[in-house]
Amino acid sequence: MAQKILVIDDDTDICLLLRRFLSKHGFEVAVAHNGVTGLAILEEFHPDLVLTDFKLGDMDGATILTRIKEKFPHLPVLIITGYSDIKTAINVMKQGAYDYITKPLFPDEILLTIRKALNHSQTHEQGGQFAEEITPATPGGATRRKSTQAHYIFGEGPESTYLYKQVDLVAPTNYSVLIYGESGSGKEAVALEIHKRSKRASGPFVAMDCGAISRELAASELFGHEKGSFTGALAQKIGHFEMANGGTLFLDEVGNLPYDVQVSLLRVVQERKLRRIGGNREIDVDVRLIVASNERLMDAARRGRFREDLYYRFNEFSIDVPPLRERRSDLMIFAQFFLDKTNIELGKQVKGFTPEVERAFREYPWPGNLRELRNVIKRSTLLTEGDYVDARTLPFELLNYEKLLFFDSGTITTSSVQDLPSPQPSYEAPTAPKPYASSKVDLKSAALEAEYEMILNVLKQVNFNKSKAAQALGIDRKTLYNKMKNINLSN
């Protein structure tokens, strides 16, 4: 039976487009062009989800949300809002809205948010988002709790059990938390788990990737700005601190913040007050900070790239998230978890993995960690036509990583690949000359060969983690990919 969605928007064109788009994806859709009509349809239609504009002609988002929740307290509601109304939308979320979507509307984002909301609602009906299974952990009778919520799962191995205990210990406190881990290891998921288990769980969780923001915009993103405060400031902007007020602010790759922004950040952390750029009024903020980094901030402080006093403010409690290669006993648990989530997103029913795929998963070093595993499974699930993911759907680099690691060797072994369960048979590399080799000895050929050797050696040292390799070589990831392509290291 198709799931039902009620769309409430006074823009008839948006209603028409949403109705066509959602119907195409298997939903039964009803529309209303004002709040009163929407509430009347709600009584008869009994939708599984409501998608409503924040500004309607006859009532605002807060009013219609209150009316909906009075009759259907567990019905997920998504708010459509313009960017300038985000602060108000966040306040509405505190009153019970599941999430908000900003204009302009993007179909893929709408579909993903709707499916997440519906999945969350089903999880709640089956026992709640924070439901846990209690199972024996040791022969002595100790118990282990395993999260069954939709957005994150803890494994069962010793590393995962220890990680869970740390999260369980610090979550109820108001401590700032510093999370260390490689790129893709799940630092943001751990931060969200801490938030969900804290006393601030009903407040917002706001995440900011400090490594993806330019130096010029970092302060504006954190603290906001007033209209006209600088060239391009065409409207007032609410910063991430204000958006997270009453909840948790997660700063990923915090070590990438410019030094002058770190000074302003220290003041806000100490005084719990901020001023928007160009503003005169001090604004009180009540925010729990969780920060993450893939490098040790104390080392960055010693090199003068990070303020030592800010480091101590953040480091009230620290957590190390182990890389996937150190959690091999949990590998297939994570794989099945991502498969289940992807099945929901794609509307498929793939049951599991063939033995060949499981063997390939266990032998691969996973330099991209959980993010890489998730992306591999999403791709493979999309390509799978039967009941089980088979090796034909796996990407080239996963099945041929030995060739990539030792492209120029006469005989290839896996002795330098860390943490593989057992030695692997050798592989005879092709004897053809390198693609840039030339019978003529010149400076260009020598430079290309030297570049090849350097890139290959660095990739080996960092277990083929391209982000770390680019950092070690002093270039960006795009440049690294181009160079690898030029010297045939990308296939």
Q: What is the dihedral of CA 383, 389, 393, 395, to 10 degrees?
A: 120
Residue 83 has pLDDT above 80, yes or no: no
Peptide bond connecting 355 to the previous residue in cis, omega within 30 degrees of 0: no
Range of weakest confidence among 130-134, 242-246, 480-484: 130-134
pLDDT band at 164 (very low <50, low <70, confident <90, very high): confident
Residue 148, pLDDT score? 35
| Of 445 and 101, more confident | 101
Residue positions counted in the chain: 491
pLDDT over 90 (residue 352): yes
pLDDT over 70, % of the chain:
79
Higher pLDDT, 54 or 103: 54
Q: What is the C-alpha separation between 384 and 354, in angstroms, rounded?
A: 11
Closest CA to 233 of 283, 265, 276: 276
Question: Does residue 136 carry a pLDDT above 80?
Answer: no
DSSP string, 266-334: HHHHHHSEE--BT----EE---EEEEEESS-HHHHHHTTSS-HHHHHHHTTEEEE---GGG-GGGHHHH
Give residue-wise pLDDT tens across range 191-213. Answer: 999 999 999 988 899 998 887 77
Instruction: Pull the structure tokens for residue 332.
Output: 């297939």
The confidence band for 480, taking pLDDT boundaries of 50, 70 and 90, is confident
Q: Which residues have a Cβ under 8 Å from the Cβ of 463 and sit 6 or more positions away? A: 325, 365, 367, 417, 418
Tens-place pLDDT, residues 421-446: 333 333 333 333 344 444 444 555 66
224: left (phi over 0), alpha (psi -120 to 50) or beta: left
- When pLDDT is averaged across residues 33-60 and rounded to a whole number, the result is 89
Distance CA 370, CA 372 (A): 5
Average confidence (pLDDT) over 42-49: 91
pLDDT at residue number 437: 47
Higher pLDDT, 168 or 135: 168
All domains of the chain in start order, with CATH: 4-125 (3.40.50.2300), 158-322 (3.40.50.300), 330-394 (1.10.8.60), 401-486 (1.10.10)
